[in-house]
Amino acid sequence: MNNWTRFVLIIWIFVVLIISQSYTASLASILTVKRLQPTFVDVKEIRKNGYFVGHQKDSFVKDFLVKQLNFNDTMLREYSTPEEYHDALSRGTHNGGVAAIFAEIPYIKLFLAKYCSKFQMVGPTYKTDGFGFVSLTLPVCLSHAIPQHIVKAYLFGRR
C-alpha cells in the first residue's frame, strides 16, 4: 500500500467513527427524552378522570386542593414520608396509588433528591400564602416568664 492510500484509509476510519458516535449520541438522547415525559401534566385531566392525588399529611395543601383546584375530598390521600410518596406514585392510578402528589416545594425537593431517576416535578407552581417564621428574642421570652422588675433590670443593665 502506498502512503496516500494509508492516509485516505485513516481519514475514512475517523469519519466513520465520528458519524457512528454522533448517531449513537442522538439515538440515546431521543430515547432518554421520551422516557422522561410525565404521565400527567394537567391538573384538569387528573380531576376530570377522577384519579386520586396525594398530599402532605396535616398540611394546608389539602384545603388548597379542595378550595382552589376543586378536587373532591374523597379523591385525596395523605402521606407523611418520601417513601410513602414513592410507593403511591409507583403503584399508579389503577393499583391503589395516585396520579400525582401535591406538596410544598421543600418536601418535593426532598423526595426528588432520593427518587430523581423515576419522578420529576411538572406543571405550574401555585402561589400560596407561604411560610412564616417566628423568632423570639430573649427580652420577649423573659417578659412572660419573669416578673416585670427583673426584666427591666436586665434590659437597662441594673443588677
Q: What is the DSSP string of 7-27?
A: HHHHHHHHHHHHHHHHHHHHH
pTM confidence score = 0.58
My answer on whether 53 and 110 are in the same domain is yes
User: Is 53 in the same domain as 22?
Assistant: no
Asked whether residue 136 is assigned to any structural domain, the reply reads yes
State pLDDT tens for residues 18-58.
Answer: 988 888 888 777 776 555 566 666 788 888 888 899 998 88
Provide the residue range defining the domain that includes 31.
Answer: 1-37
pLDDT of residue 2: 84
Of all residues in the chain, the percent with pLDDT exceeding 90 is 13
Q: Is residue 120 part of a domain?
A: no
